[in-house]
């Protein structure tokens, strides 16, 4: 019985071994089967558009090189004032670096102010100062945004209650081309006096947007009426970009030179392109002569060198006369301001003179507003 059980177990093991050997050995290949029938051809898909085609239309050397060449001709591309590029300061809305250098400008846009301590190694204004990332790539429906870092309406630094919206790309210009907050626009406070405590009195360099809008001058009453805010033809019928970056027949104007283009001007100025508002040069010469002749008074200073005021808020004078509010310190240092106590109307006229001068359009941005500021300022000093 035991022998029979042993033989049965031996036979089972032998069978398992043969099965395992046959499973792990290479099989003997049989003849190939017949080919099956070919399937039906699918329909070819429609070619998609080139995903980079719209990008290359702008981001190509052929398009970029003329832009760089025109930028090199511009005041922006020629390099900013060296010390101003990295300069900070106590006033968060009045630091040179916020407009003169890339880091300060971008910090101002993103954080509302440039660094108080300035920048040790500032970058001169370049493409990346104004252009960053597109807000949308649906240019067909949304229009090109040119990847501008700031194309929104701007509340003016000198008077945040005034917001300018030039719509689209021109809003980027307002960021810097507006009056700085260094000095207060002269206004009557009951004393009839105004203290000028600087050689740089007036809006600093950039009142182009406010002049175009017709705001932030000192609106002295006079024979010339002031036009409605935002009513100038260049404001209602054109824009910063249309005039300063329009198409041009030569490479030294328009585009990124920001030199106003003749081709853009003659579309409206069919009788020729004006180089200034009528009577501008003569009027400015007259106003400067009057401002050079006004006589103010030195003010007393405290231990820190600041003007002294009495209990009623009136400036305390020394009795020493100061001749001229607007003066030339040297042939290459012109249109500065003397420090002293002057009448409010004298200070208002000086503010308007510097506004018109710093606008640099010679009255063209807003002829109606420019004429009113100029005419009424002259009358205030002559009467």
Residue range 236-287, pLDDT digits in tens: 999 999 999 988 777 899 999 999 988 888 888 888 888 999 999 999 999 9
Q: How far apart (Å, rounded) are the C-alpha atoms in residues 344 and 286? A: 19
Strands of the chain, DSSP E? 154-155, 163-164, 193-196, 295-299, 317-323, 326-327, 336-337, 340-343
Q: How far apart (Å, rounded) are the C-alpha atoms in residues 363 and 234? A: 11
For residue 51, pLDDT beyond 70: no
Q: Residues 6 or more apart from 51 whose CB is under 8 A from it?
A: none
Which pLDDT tens digit goes with each residue over 161-207?
Answer: 999 999 889 999 999 999 988 888 999 888 899 999 999 999 988 99
- The total number of residues shown for the chain amounts to 383
Task: Please provide the average confidence, as pLDDT, over all residues in the chain.
Answer: 89
Residue of 120, 186, 91 lying closest to 101 (CA atoms): 120
Q: Which is higher by pLDDT, 77 or 18?
A: 77
Q: How confident is the model at residue 46 (pLDDT cuts 50, 70, 90)?
A: confident
Which pLDDT tens digit goes with each residue over 294-342?
Answer: 999 999 999 999 999 999 999 999 999 999 999 999 999 999 999 999 9
Q: How far apart (Å, rounded) are the C-alpha atoms in residues 113 and 95? A: 8
The phi and psi torsions of 196 (rounded to 5 degrees) equal -100, 120
Q: How confident is the model at residue 8 (pLDDT cuts 50, 70, 90)?
A: low
Q: How far apart (Å, rounded) are the C-alpha atoms in residues 172 and 258? A: 13
Please say whether the beta carbons of 262 and 248 come within 8 A.
Answer: yes
Mean pLDDT across 60-66: 86
pLDDT at 155: 95
* Percentage of residues in the chain having pLDDT higher than 70: 91
pLDDT at 308: 97
Which pLDDT tens digit goes with each residue over 111-128?
Answer: 999 999 999 999 999 999
- Output the DSSP codes for 312-368: TSPBPEEEEEEE-SEE-SBTTB-SEE--EEEEHHHHHHHHHHHHHHHH-STT-S-HH
Mean pLDDT across 132-155: 84
Q: How far apart (Å, rounded) are the C-alpha atoms in residues 71 and 127? A: 9
Which pLDDT tens digit goes with each residue over 351-369?
Answer: 999 999 999 999 999 999 9
Q: Tokens 């229009």 — which residue? A: 143
HSE-up of residue 348 (Cα within 13 Å, Cβ side): 25
Q: Residues 6 or more apart from 332 whose CB is under 8 A from it?
A: none
pLDDT at 14: 55
pLDDT at 40: 84
pLDDT at 15: 59
Burial 317-342 (b: 16+ CB within 10 A, else e): beeeebebbbbeeeeeeebbbbbbbb
- Counting other chains too, the contacts that 140-147 makes at CB distance below 8 Å and 24 or more residues apart are 143/168
Q: Which is higher by pLDDT, 146 or 142?
A: 146
Q: Tokens 């101002």 — which residue? A: 108
Most trustworthy range by pLDDT among 46-55, 84-93, 190-199, 371-380? 371-380
- Number of neighbours of residue 257 by Cβ within 10 angstroms: 23
Q: Residues 6 or more apart from 241 whose CB is under 8 A from it?
A: 168, 169, 170, 173
Q: How far apart (Å, rounded) are the C-alpha atoms in residues 130 and 353? A: 31
HSE-up of residue 350 (Cα within 13 Å, Cβ side): 35
- Number of neighbours of residue 235 by Cβ within 10 angstroms: 21
Judged on CB neighbours under 10 Å (0-12, 13-18, 19+), 245 is buried
Q: How far apart (Å, rounded) are the C-alpha atoms in residues 237 and 340? A: 43
Mean pLDDT across 98-105: 94
Please say whether the beta carbons of 365 and 232 come within 8 A.
Answer: yes
3-class DSSP state of 296: strand
């Amino acid at each position: 019985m035991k022998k029979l059980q042993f033989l049965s177990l031996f036979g089972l093991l032998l069978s398992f071994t043969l099965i395992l050997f046959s499973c792990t050995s290479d099989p003997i290949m049989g003849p190939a089967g017949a080919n099956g029938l070919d399937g039906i051809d699918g329909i070819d898909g429609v070619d998609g558009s080139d995903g980079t085609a719209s990008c290359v239309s702008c981001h190509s050397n052929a398009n970029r090189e003329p832009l760089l060449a025109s930028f090199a001709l511009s005041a922006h591309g020629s390099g900013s004032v060296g010390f101003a590029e990295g300069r900070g300061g106590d006033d968060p809305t009045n630091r040179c670096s916020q407009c003169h250098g890339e880091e300060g400008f971008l910090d101002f846009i993103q954080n509302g102010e440039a660094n108080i301590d300035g920048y040790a190694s500032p970058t001169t204004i370049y493409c990346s100062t104004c252009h960053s990332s597109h807000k949308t790539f649906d240019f067909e429906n949304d229009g090109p945004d040119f990847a501008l870092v700031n194309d929104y309406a701007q509340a003016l630094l000198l008077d945040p209650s005034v917001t300018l919206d030039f719509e689209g790309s021109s809003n980027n210009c307002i960021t810097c081309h507006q009056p700085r907050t260094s000095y207060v626009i002269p206004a009557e406070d009951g004393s009839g006096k105004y203290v000028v405590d600087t050689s740089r009195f007036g809006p600093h360099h950039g009142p182009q947007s406010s002049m175009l809008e017709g705001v932030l001058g000192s609106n002295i009453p006079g024979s010339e009426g002031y036009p409605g805010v935002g009513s100038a033809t260049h404001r209602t019928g054109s824009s910063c970009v249309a005039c300063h970056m329009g198409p041009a027949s030569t490479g030294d104007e328009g585009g990124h030179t920001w030199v106003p283009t003749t081709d853009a001007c003659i579309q409206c100025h069919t009788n020729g392109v004006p180089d200034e508002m009528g009577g501008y040069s003569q009027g400015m010469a007259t106003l400067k002569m009057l401002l050079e002749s006004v006589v103010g008074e030195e003010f007393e200073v405290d231990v820190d060198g600041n003007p002294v005021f009495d209990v009623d808020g009136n400036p305390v004078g020394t009795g020493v006369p100061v001749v001229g509010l607007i003066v030339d310190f040297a042939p290459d240092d012109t249109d500065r301001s003397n420090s002293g106590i002057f009448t409010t109307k004298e200070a208002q006229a000086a503010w308007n003179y510097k506004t018109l001068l710093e606008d640099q359009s010679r009255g063209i941005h807003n002829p109606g507003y420019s004429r009113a500021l100029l005419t009424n300022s002259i009358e205030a000093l002559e009467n």
